[in-house]
Structure 1
Amino acid sequence: MTTPARPANRHHKRPRGEGQWALGFREPLNKNEENKKNDDGLNVRQRIIDIYSKRGFDSIDPADLRGRFRWFGLYTQRKPGIDGGKTAILEPEELDDRYFMLRVRIDGGQLSLEQLRVIADISNDYARGTADITDRQNVQFHWIEIESVPDIWERLESVGLSTTEACGDTPRVIIGCPVAGIDAEETIDGRDQIRDIYDRYIGDQAFSNLPRKFKTAISGCAAHCTVHEINDIAFVGVELADGTKGFDVWVGGGLSTNPMLGKRLGAFVSPERVHEVWAGVASVFRDYGYRRLRHRARIKFLVHDWGAEKFREVLEKEYLGYALPDGPSPELPRGGRRDHVGVFPQHDGNFYVGFAPRVGRVSGDQLHLIADIAERHGSRRVAATVEQKMVILDVAPDQVKSMVAELEAADLQVNPSTFRRQTMACTGIEYCKLAIIETKASASRLIDELEARLPDFTDPLTINVNGCPNSCARIQVADIGLKGQLVVDGDGNQVEGYQIHLGGSIGVNPGFGRKVRGLKATAADLPDYIERVARNFDSQKKEGETFAEWVQRAEEADLK
Structure 2
Amino acid sequence: MTTGATPRARPRTVRTRSEGQWAHGYREPLNFTERFKRDSDGLDVRDRIIGVYARNGFASIDPSDLRGRFRWYGLYTQRRPGIEGGRTAKLDAEDLEDSYFMLRVRIAGGQLSTAQLRVIGELSRQYARNTADITNRQNIQFHWVRIEDVPAIWEQLESVGLSTIEACGDTPRNMLGCPVAGIAADEVIDGTPSLNALAPFVGDPAFSNLPRKYKTAISGCSRHCTIHEINDVAFVGVLGPEGQRGFDLWVGGGLSTNPMYAQRLGVFVPPEQVPAVWVGVTSLFRDYGYRRARAKARLKFLLADWGTEKFRTVLQEEFLGFTLVEGPAAAPPSTLRRDHVGIYPQKDGRFYVGVTPSVGRTSGEMLTRVGELAERYGSQRVRTTIDQKLIILDVPEAHTTPLAEELEKLGLSADPSVFRRHTMACTGIEFCKLAIVNTKDRAKQIIAELERRLPDFEVPVTINVNGCPNSCARIQTADIGLRGQIITTDTGQHVEGFQVQLGGGLSADVGFGRKVRGLKVAADDLPDYIEHLLQTYQTNCLPAETFAGWVRRVDESTLTPAPR
- Normalised by the length of structure 1, the TM-score is 0.97
Distance of 2:225 and 2:305 partners within structure 1: 28
* One-letter amino acid of the counterpart of residue 22, structure 2: W
Distance of 1:410 and 1:363 partners within structure 2: 11
Aligned to 2:469: 469
Aligned to 1:374: 374
* One-letter amino acid of the counterpart of residue 190, structure 2: D
Query: What is the Cα deviation at residue 509 of structure 1?
Result: 3.0
Distance of 2:459 and 2:17 partners within structure 1: 51
Query: What is the Cα deviation at residue 409 of structure 1?
Result: 1.9
Distance of 2:510 and 2:323 partners within structure 1: 29
* Structure 1 residue ranges without an equivalent (≥5): 1-11
Once the two structures are superposed, the pairs formed by residues 57-68 of structure 1 within 5 Å of their partners are 57-68=58-69
Percent identity for Structure 1 against Structure 2: 62
Query: What is the Cα deviation at residue 541 of structure 1?
Result: 1.9
- Secondary structure in 2 aligned to 1:338? coil
Distance of 2:418 and 2:205 partners within structure 1: 44
CA displacement, residues 135-165 of structure 1 (integer Å, 9 cap, x when unaligned): 0000000000001000100111111111000
Once the two structures are superposed, the pairs formed by residues 278-357 of structure 1 within 5 Å of their partners are 278-357=278-357
CA contact (8 A) 2:14 2:305 kept: no
Query: What is the Cα deviation at residue 198 of structure 1?
Result: 1.4
* One-letter amino acid of the counterpart of residue 486, structure 1: I
Once the two structures are superposed, the pairs formed by residues 532-551 of structure 1 within 5 Å of their partners are 532-551=532-551
* One-letter amino acid of the counterpart of residue 210, structure 2: L
- Secondary structure in 2 aligned to 1:143? strand
Distance of 2:509 and 2:325 partners within structure 1: 27
* One-letter amino acid of the counterpart of residue 350, structure 1: R
- Secondary structure in 2 aligned to 1:150? helix
- Secondary structure in 1 aligned to 2:107? coil
Once the two structures are superposed, the pairs formed by residues 37-186 of structure 1 within 5 Å of their partners are 37-186=38-187
CA contact (8 A) 2:241 2:327 kept: no
Aligned to 2:488: 488
Aligned to 1:417: 417
Question: What number of residue pairs does the alignment pair up?
Answer: 548
Distance of 1:514 and 1:88 partners within structure 2: 26
Establish whether residue 196 from structure 1 lines up as the match of residue 197 from structure 2: yes
* Structure 2 residue ranges without an equivalent (≥5): 1-12
* One-letter amino acid of the counterpart of residue 93, structure 2: P
Query: What is the Cα deviation at residue 14 of structure 1?
Result: 2.2
* One-letter amino acid of the counterpart of residue 465, structure 2: V
Distance of 1:433 and 1:289 partners within structure 2: 27
Distance of 1:477 and 1:136 partners within structure 2: 15
Aligned to 1:554: 554
Query: What is the Cα deviation at residue 336 of structure 1?
Result: 2.8
Once the two structures are superposed, the pairs formed by residues 452-467 of structure 1 within 5 Å of their partners are 452-467=452-467
- Secondary structure in 2 aligned to 1:87? helix
- Secondary structure in 2 aligned to 1:550? helix
Once the two structures are superposed, the pairs formed by residues 197-236 of structure 1 within 5 Å of their partners are 197-199=198-200, 201-236=201-236
Query: What is the Cα deviation at residue 479 of structure 1?
Result: 0.1
- Secondary structure in 2 aligned to 1:132? strand
CA contact (8 A) 2:422 2:463 kept: yes
Query: What is the Cα deviation at residue 515 of structure 1?
Result: 1.2
Distance of 1:287 and 1:321 partners within structure 2: 16
Query: What is the Cα deviation at residue 242 of structure 1?
Result: 3.3
Aligned to 1:257: 257
Distance of 2:208 and 2:149 partners within structure 1: 25
Distance of 2:426 and 2:396 partners within structure 1: 34
Distance of 2:465 and 2:453 partners within structure 1: 19
Aligned to 1:497: 497
Aligned to 2:8: none
- Secondary structure in 2 aligned to 1:511? coil
Distance of 1:214 and 1:110 partners within structure 2: 20
CA displacement, residues 100-130 of structure 1 (integer Å, 9 cap, x when unaligned): 0000010011100000001000100000000
Distance of 1:283 and 1:455 partners within structure 2: 51
Which structure is higher in RCO with an 8 Å CA cutoff and minimum separation 6? Answer: 2
Query: What is the Cα deviation at residue 411 of structure 1?
Result: 1.4
- Normalised by the length of structure 2, the TM-score is 0.96
- Secondary structure in 2 aligned to 1:354? strand
Query: What is the Cα deviation at residue 212 of structure 1?
Result: 0.2
CA displacement, residues 492-519 of structure 1 (integer Å, 9 cap, x when unaligned): 1000010000000113331102111111
Aligned to 1:3: none
Aligned to 1:383: 383
The structure 1 segments of at least 4 consecutive aligned residues displaced by more than 4 Å after TM superposition are none
CA displacement, residues 338-371 of structure 1 (integer Å, 9 cap, x when unaligned): 0000011100011100000100000000001111
Distance of 2:333 and 2:427 partners within structure 1: 29
Aligned to 2:10: none
Once the two structures are superposed, the pairs formed by residues 394-409 of structure 1 within 5 Å of their partners are 394-409=394-409
* One-letter amino acid of the counterpart of residue 205, structure 1: P
* One-letter amino acid of the counterpart of residue 274, structure 1: V
Distance of 1:299 and 1:86 partners within structure 2: 32
Superposition RMSD in Å: 0.9
* One-letter amino acid of the counterpart of residue 265, structure 1: L
* One-letter amino acid of the counterpart of residue 411, structure 1: G
Distance of 2:140 and 2:120 partners within structure 1: 8
- Secondary structure in 2 aligned to 1:402? helix
CA displacement, residues 47-102 of structure 1 (integer Å, 9 cap, x when unaligned): 10111111111110000000000000000000000011111111111011000000
Distance of 1:542 and 1:115 partners within structure 2: 48
Instruction: Decide whether aligned partners of structure 1 residues 75 and 300 sit closer, same or farther in structure 2, where only a CA change above 3 A counts.
Output: same
Distance of 1:279 and 1:444 partners within structure 2: 41
Distance of 1:403 and 1:514 partners within structure 2: 41
CA contact (8 A) 2:352 2:395 kept: yes
Distance of 2:340 and 2:302 partners within structure 1: 34
- Secondary structure in 1 aligned to 2:218? strand
CA contact (8 A) 2:105 2:139 kept: yes
* One-letter amino acid of the counterpart of residue 380, structure 1: Q
Aligned to 1:6: none
Establish whether residue 243 from structure 1 lines up as the match of residue 219 from structure 2: no
Query: What is the Cα deviation at residue 182 of structure 1?
Result: 0.3
CA displacement, residues 153-185 of structure 1 (integer Å, 9 cap, x when unaligned): 011111111100000000000001000000000
- Secondary structure in 2 aligned to 1:88? helix
Query: What is the Cα deviation at residue 240 of structure 1?
Result: 2.3
Distance of 2:177 and 2:508 partners within structure 1: 20
* One-letter amino acid of the counterpart of residue 527, structure 1: P
Query: What is the Cα deviation at residue 13 of structure 1?
Result: 4.6
Establish whether residue 20 from structure 1 lines up as the match of residue 21 from structure 2: yes
Distance of 1:372 and 1:73 partners within structure 2: 27
Distance of 1:355 and 1:397 partners within structure 2: 16
Query: What is the Cα deviation at residue 555 of structure 1?
Result: 2.3
Query: What is the Cα deviation at residue 192 of structure 1?
Result: 1.1
- Secondary structure in 1 aligned to 2:365? helix
* One-letter amino acid of the counterpart of residue 277, structure 2: V
Once the two structures are superposed, the pairs formed by residues 260-275 of structure 1 within 5 Å of their partners are 260-275=260-275
